[in-house]
């Protein structure tokens, strides 16, 4: 099996192209290959597959063997891969995802290679039961949640996958590994959840740290950055265009008022190629 190791702001993936469909046993393969001591090491295993409705299809298996509906960093890596490896010569492509449907992608090409990628991440889902949470409200904003006798307040956003956004005084130094796994599996989230801890710096800039469902702490999360901006707008904390600073770097996020779509712009990098 030939693979390419790629990352988006340090959120890293084993990218495989050439399969006709998701192979059986992909969950166990992801667990083995994503292991950072006994495997290649990655946050997830990503397959680029044929699509009947888009230019390409993307399937993402997390490092714990579960499948993610969508991943903003992975779709940027996939977009760079298909262009840089001659699978397309178009600067605008479409990618089919499991949870967010077909997404439009614009490629910023410099010297024959993709430098940055702008992804139409679609409309955010805000209705509580659809995120999903157990809260039956049209929007779940600044809602109380208790974990081990500590109360947080969260805003629920789905970008094709569920997110729980919580504002803290210092996201950069927050104890992510203590509270992230507890909130991920909280009964209020029937399909578990990604958890973002956020500090708003100003109207156009936030710091964010993420505990990803099925992967744990990662250096970046594209859908989490989108959920962070949507949540921050809903809570009146930022404008509709802002930079979200993650541990691995910055993403520029826009929530367009005209079409209600969220747009994410950021880099993707190839690390190395290999054969298993």
In tens, the pLDDT along 238-272 reads 999 999 999 999 999 999 999 999 999 999 999 99
User: How many angstroms separate the CA atoms of 263 and 258, rounded?
Assistant: 12
Q: What is the pLDDT of residue 232?
A: 98
Tell me how far CA of residue 235 lies from CA of 129, 143, 189, 253, in angstroms: 20, 11, 21, 16
Contact indicator for 70, 96 with CB cutoff of 8 Å? no
Give the pLDDT mean for 72-97.
Answer: 97
Q: % helix / strand / coil in the chain, to the nearest 5?
A: 15, 45, 40
Q: What is the pLDDT of residue 55?
A: 98
User: How many angstroms separate the CA atoms of 1 and 20, rounded?
Assistant: 14
- pLDDT for 177-220, tens place per residue? 999 999 999 999 999 999 999 999 999 999 999 999 999 999 99
Residue closest to 249 by CA, chosen among 211, 213, 210: 210
Structure token pair of residue 219: 């250096």
Is 173 labelled a binding residue? no
Contact indicator for 161, 169 with CB cutoff of 8 Å? no
Residue 135 clears pLDDT 90, i.e. is over it: yes
Is 85 labelled a binding residue? no
Is 235 labelled a binding residue? no
Is 108 labelled a binding residue? no
- Give yes or no: 164 in active site: no
User: How many angstroms separate the CA atoms of 176 and 58, rounded?
Assistant: 29
Tell me how far CA of residue 169 lies from CA of 127, 173, 197, 201, 224, in angstroms: 27, 9, 9, 10, 18
Radius of gyration of the chain (CA): 18
Is 35 labelled a binding residue? no
- pLDDT for 148-175, tens place per residue? 999 999 999 999 999 999 999 999 999 9
Q: What is the pLDDT of residue 79?
A: 98
Give the pLDDT mean for 64-85.
Answer: 96
User: How many angstroms separate the CA atoms of 162 and 251, rounded?
Assistant: 19
Q: Which of 34, 71, 77, 164 is catalytic?
A: 71
Q: Which of 34, 77, 164, 221 is catalytic?
A: 221
111: left (phi over 0), alpha (psi -120 to 50) or beta: left
Is 72 labelled a binding residue? yes
- Give yes or no: 221 in active site: yes
Is 101 labelled a binding residue? no
Torsion 233-207-182-41 (CA) sign:
positive
Q: What is the pLDDT of residue 100?
A: 86
- pLDDT for 10-48, tens place per residue? 999 999 999 999 999 999 999 999 999 999 999 999 999
Give the pLDDT mean for 87-111.
Answer: 96
Give the pLDDT mean for 215-238.
Answer: 97
């Amino acid at each position: 099996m030939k693979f390419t190791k790629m990352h988006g702001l340090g959120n890293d993936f084993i990218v495989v192209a050439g399969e006709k469909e998701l192979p059986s046993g992909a969950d166990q393969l992801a667990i083995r290959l994503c292991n950072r001591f006994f495997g290649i090491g990655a946050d997830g295993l990503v397959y680029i597959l044929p699509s009947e409705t888009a230019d390409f299809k993307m399937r993402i298996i997390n490092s714990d063997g579960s499948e993610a509906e969508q991943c903003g960093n992975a779709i940027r890596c996939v977009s760079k891969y298909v262009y840089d490896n001659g699978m397309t010569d178009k600067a605008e492509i479409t990618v089919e995802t499991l949870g967010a449907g077909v997404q439009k992608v614009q490629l910023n090409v410099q010297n024959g290679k993709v430098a940055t990628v702008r992804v139409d991440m679609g409309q955010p889902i805000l209705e509580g039961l659809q995120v999903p949470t157990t809260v039956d409200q049209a929007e779940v904003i600044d809602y109380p949640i208790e974990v081990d006798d500590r109360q947080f307040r969260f805003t629920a956003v789905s970008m094709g996958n569920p997110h729980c956004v919580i504002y803290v005084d210092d996201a950069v130094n927050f104890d992510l590994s203590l509270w992230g796994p507890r909130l991920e599996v909280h009964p209020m989230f029937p399909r578990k959840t990604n958890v973002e801890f956020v500090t708003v710096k100003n109207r156009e800039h936030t710091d964010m740290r993420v505990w990803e469902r099925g992967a744990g702490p990662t250096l970046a999360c594209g859908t989490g950055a989108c959920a962070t901006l949507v949540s921050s707008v809903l809570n009146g904390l930022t404008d509709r265009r802002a930079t979200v600073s993650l541990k691995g770097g910055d993403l520029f996020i826009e929530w367009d008022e005209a079409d209600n779509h969220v747009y994410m712009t950021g880099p993707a990098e190839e690390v190395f190629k290999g054969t298993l």
